[in-house]
Amino acid sequence: MYLRPDEVFNRVAIDELYYLATGGGITFGGGEPLLYSDFIIDVLTLGADKWNITIETSLNIPFKQISILLPYINEIIVDIKDLNPRIYESYTQYNNNALLKNLKLLATNWSVNNVLLRIPLIKGYNTSRDVENSKKFLTSLGYSKFDIFEYKTGFRYDRKREMRNA
């Protein structure tokens, strides 16, 4: 579905009273929402300035994509995966250079108190020690809000079973 900024705004503005009464708002997630920073700004400038605005991101994008949104948002949730470059690349197939650079830039150009860093324990990719190493590094940058959890990967696709049930 493709929507114009005004169509997105009108769909979420229906709940404005709820946002104002609860201190809530909207979260832009993804995929990677920061690939559409200009679109998000177009939505927000239609009247969302009274709402809490959150971006959920991998932060593995050019800093410009986040920096232009900083005046409009209240919180950023960053899905770190792992800061060890080998682990990160093994899991995502990408390097984490932009992520690391952006974490440092955010720490100096925005409020670290408004950033929640999600660091998962991913079976087969990292260990509790790796998670602690990531947290230690992030703490050294000034970050203090963490969501440390274990990925649940119990679902397994069984092609043979699917064929029998078809």
Q: Is the pLDDT of residue 166 over 70?
A: no
CA distance 127 to 79: 17
Domain of 109, CATH number, reads 3.80.30.10
Question: What would the mean pLDDT of 17-42 be, rounded to a whole number?
Answer: 95
Question: What is the total count of domains within the chain?
Answer: 1
Q: What pLDDT sits at residue 30?
A: 87
The angle at the Cα of 150, spanning 26 to 113, to the nearest 5 degrees, equals 45
Average pLDDT, rounded, for the chain: 92
Instruction: To the nearest 10°, report the CA torsion of 156, 153, 92, 127.
Output: -140
Question: Above 80 in pLDDT, residue 161?
Answer: no
pLDDT band at 155 (very low <50, low <70, confident <90, very high): low
Assign 106 a pLDDT band (cuts: 50, 70, 90).
very high
User: How many Å apart are CA 9 and CA 32, to the nearest integer?
Assistant: 19
pLDDT digits (tens, 9 = 90+) for 122-148: 999 999 999 999 999 999 999 999 999
Pairing assessment for the beta strands 146-150 and 52-57 based on DSSP bridges: unpaired
User: Is the pLDDT higher at 40 or at 152?
Assistant: 40
At residue 2, does pLDDT exceed 60? Answer: yes
SS3 117: strand
- The answer to whether 56 and 79 are in contact (CB under 8 A) is yes
- Find the domain containing 158 and state its range: 5-165
